[in-house]
Copies of this chain bind each other. A is one copy, B any other.
């Protein structure tokens, strides 16, 4: 179901690295019309062009450059808001928008693990939208207001790759080692002196997110709450000198016996709501299985499918758990802004926004 009119969109935190990705992705969106770019007091009052040190490879969209940046005060003349705010302010600001009746699709971590907030990957858990009526009611939001979050970037690709296996065979144990791109640390992020020619085996709080978010994403919605999936995840995270694209070396133990071919087939044939409902930002296939032994690679694969697919390669048996594989996704597209936009598209298609139902 498409919206019957262009929906007015606000981008909260529009001048930062993730905010700019929202701007770039929404500049020609068929459903969404960016009418407000909001940021901190420091930027408010300037044009977007002035307020923003543009970091996205493509040029700044001409339609958005002259917009005047507003502050973050919530207003109800907006159909939905995307939040690219940093965690120090996202928690409170997002609530003020929901309270005036605006649905908020957030990339921030603050509300992700709250029991009534969907932690969404539309191909994986579209039914988690079922939390929304209860959320709005319990929190006293107007009926149109609610919060939806996307997952941590690394958790997104892990959960996507696990979803078909969990659905088909049951996943019991997951060991994941990530090699994460520097763009995941925002801008200016890492110093060249620290990361060039180096690997840093630590990102604060990241392992915990991978371990807990995966359980929630793959969990079942039941009576307005999420039952976490009954699987254990162990994560070790590393920062590598790569611009874009988180690579993950994953091994899994399944609950039911499965041949390598069956595992491959489950991954390759996986599809979900974005594909069947023809959402504008949906990749053709959510998971692309690569058979060359040395793929996926960030440099060669991360921009394929508009950065919205998850790439899986190196599928093979494992001496410790059952199977090993290599997983790749674009951390600032599907893993951040693009993922949030797809979440919003699903909510629109399901009639939760804009009175389009």
Residues of A within 8 A of B (CB): 55, 57, 59, 173-175, 177, 179, 182-183, 187-202, 211, 232-234, 236, 238, 240-243, 247, 249, 251, 293-300, 303-304, 313-314, 318-321, 324, 326
Contact = CB atoms under 8 A, between A and B. Distances in A.
A193 B201 contact: no
A175 B200 CA distance: 19
Nearest to A173: B320
A199 to B, nearest CB: 5
Given A196-B197, A201-B297, A321 B234 contact: yes
B177 A243 contact: no
B188 A194 contact: yes
Given A232-B319, A320-B232, A320-B234, A188 B198 contact: no
A182 B190 CA distance: 13
Contacts of A236: 177, 249, 251, 314, 324, 326
A323 to B, nearest CB: 10
Q: State the 9 A-B residue pairs at the shortest beta-carbon distance, nearest first.
A: A188-B191, A202-B294, A177-B177, A198-B299, A234-B320, A236-B249, A234-B319, A177-B249, A201-B326
Contact of A179 (B183, B199, B313): B199
Contacts of A326: 201, 236
Contacts of A293: 202
A320 B201 contact: no
B234 A324 contact: yes
A182 B192 contact: yes
B193 A241 contact: no
Contacts of A202: 293-294, 314
Contacts of A182: 192-193, 196
Contacts of A188: 188, 191, 193-194
Contacts of A198: 242, 297-300
A88 to B, nearest CB: 20
A319 B249 contact: no
A80 to B, nearest CB: 29
B234 A297 contact: no
Contact of A193 (B189, B199, B234, B251): B189
A242 B320 CA distance: 28
A66 to B, nearest CB: 18
A194 B298 CA distance: 11
Contacts of A249: 177, 201, 236, 238
Nearest to A252: B320
